[in-house]
Structure 1
Amino acid sequence: MDTDAAANIPHKGVIVGVVPGQSPRLLREGARYAKLFQAPLVVLHVDVMRFVTYEDPDGYVGSTPVDLGAAAAESELALVHADASAVLAGSGVDWSVHQLVGDPALAIKHAADKSDARLIVVGTRKRGLGESIREFFTGSVAARLAHRQQRPILVVPLGEPASDDEELWPES
């Protein structure tokens, strides 16, 4: 894992915050805007199982795992890279994958600030009770980004939208 990933992110790119297995629509929208801006596409995954312990003035970031047995970060990064390769092949966009650690909203904001990103692209959460509970405790990454930084944010709806008379949190 690249612990100094924020320092290596291309300048003035379009940042797309992703998780493994997320809808390919998110990467396609990010690539579309990167092409419009003639900017590199930065596919960014944040490992929430690690947290930042310190950051040196030269940009090195020290981190510690929440669970010392967690080796999932490298496999998640590999999945993100595979997803990006599949979706972005032949797109004509210069893209790269990076992994940061900690709180997703703060990590994405930090990366956007350091790289002077043109745009941040994130998706909506999955529908369902479990995701609603998680969002209740951790907050929406898109909403937290919108309140903490000055860059434009594109929030891409993922999945099928709920109809006006459909329950947002079905019991099943």
Structure 2
Amino acid sequence: MTDNPSASSEEAAQNAALQKAVIVGLQPDQSQHVLDEAVKYARLLGVPLVVVHVDVTRFVTYEDPDGYVHSAPIDINFEAGAAEFEAVQATASAVLDGTGITWTARQLVGDPALAIKQLANKLDAQLIVVGTRKRGIGESIREFFTGSVAARLAHRQHRSVLVVPLEEPVPDTQKDIWVE
């Protein structure tokens, strides 16, 4: 994000055109199934699709009254978030270009659940689509400290949240779900 006053007025105009959209949260190299499900619901509802990536390496420093968000990096390596956003945009473009779906990509900053919730409020979104996390001990530890984005979204706002499984389901006979 830049400190450009015209950027906030452009975003406001774009937000007006995206009212009632379906929002899908994506990460680089995430299963295309998440995006496919979001496209399906955007088509069913006849609304635009907003593909979002949340840069967790940056945090919101303050927000102007007109909604423009100023952010700062947590880490000196702030190029990582830009590269991830470019990867998400490329994936979305490869899937969505030529489909007739009106879509845009946005990069948000900070806590994923709060950032997506705030955008959903601005757009009066009809649905939020997110994927489940990968199985594994590392992801379990991360979720223990940060919490599930899907669960936090479901408990902190009034919109429906579609949680799309990323992997094959764990068989009922398997005791431990998070085995690596």
Give the TM-score taking structure 2 as reference length: 0.89
Q: For 1:146-161, list aligned pairs within 5 A.
A: 146-161=154-169
What is residue 54 of structure 1 aligned with on the other side?
A: 62
Q: Look up the equivalent residue of 2:23 and give its one-letter code.
A: I
Is 1:143 aligned to 2:156, yes or no? Answer: no
What is residue 130 of structure 1 aligned with on the other side?
A: 138
Gaps of 5+ in 1: none
Of 38-47 and 79-88, deviating more is 79-88
Is 1:23 aligned to 2:31, yes or no? Answer: yes
What is residue 178 of structure 2 aligned with on the other side?
A: 169
1:77 to 68, 82, 85: 85
Spell out, residue by residue over 1:21-41, the C-alpha distance to the aligned partner (whole angstroms, 9 max, x if none). 100001110000000111000
Question: Using the alignment, how far apart are the partners of 1:55 and 1:30 within structure 2?
Answer: 29
- Higher RCO by CA contacts (8 Å cutoff, separation 6 or greater): 1
Question: Using the alignment, how far apart are the partners of 1:138 and 1:6 within structure 2?
Answer: 29
Question: Using the alignment, how far apart are the partners of 1:142 and 1:131 within structure 2?
Answer: 14
Call closer, same or farther: CA 1:143–1:156 in 2, change over 3 Å.
same
C-alpha deviation, 1:165, in angstroms? 2.2
Q: Look up the equivalent residue of 1:164 and give its one-letter code.
A: D
C-alpha deviation, 1:2, in angstroms? 6.4
What is residue 12 of structure 1 aligned with on the other side?
A: 20
C-alpha deviation, 1:69, in angstroms? 2.5
Gaps of 5+ in 2: none
Contact residue 6 and residue 114 of structure 1 kept, 8 A: no
Of 106-115 and 92-101, deviating more is 92-101
Is 1:87 aligned to 2:105, yes or no? Answer: no
Question: Using the alignment, how far apart are the partners of 1:34 and 1:2 within structure 2?
Answer: 30
Spell out, residue by residue over 1:110-139, the C-alpha distance to the aligned partner (whole angstroms, 9 max, x if none). 000011001100110011111111111100
1:39 to 26, 40, 47: 47
Spell out, residue by residue over 1:13-63, the C-alpha distance to the aligned partner (whole angstroms, 9 max, x if none). 000011111000011100000001110000011000000010110111111
Q: Aligned pair count?
A: 171
Call closer, same or farther: CA 1:101–1:6 in 2, change over 3 Å.
farther
C-alpha deviation, 1:157, in angstroms? 0.9
CA RMSD of aligned residues (A): 1.7
C-alpha deviation, 1:92, in angstroms? 2.4
The percent identity for this pair of structures is 61
Q: Look up the equivalent residue of 2:116 and give its one-letter code.
A: I
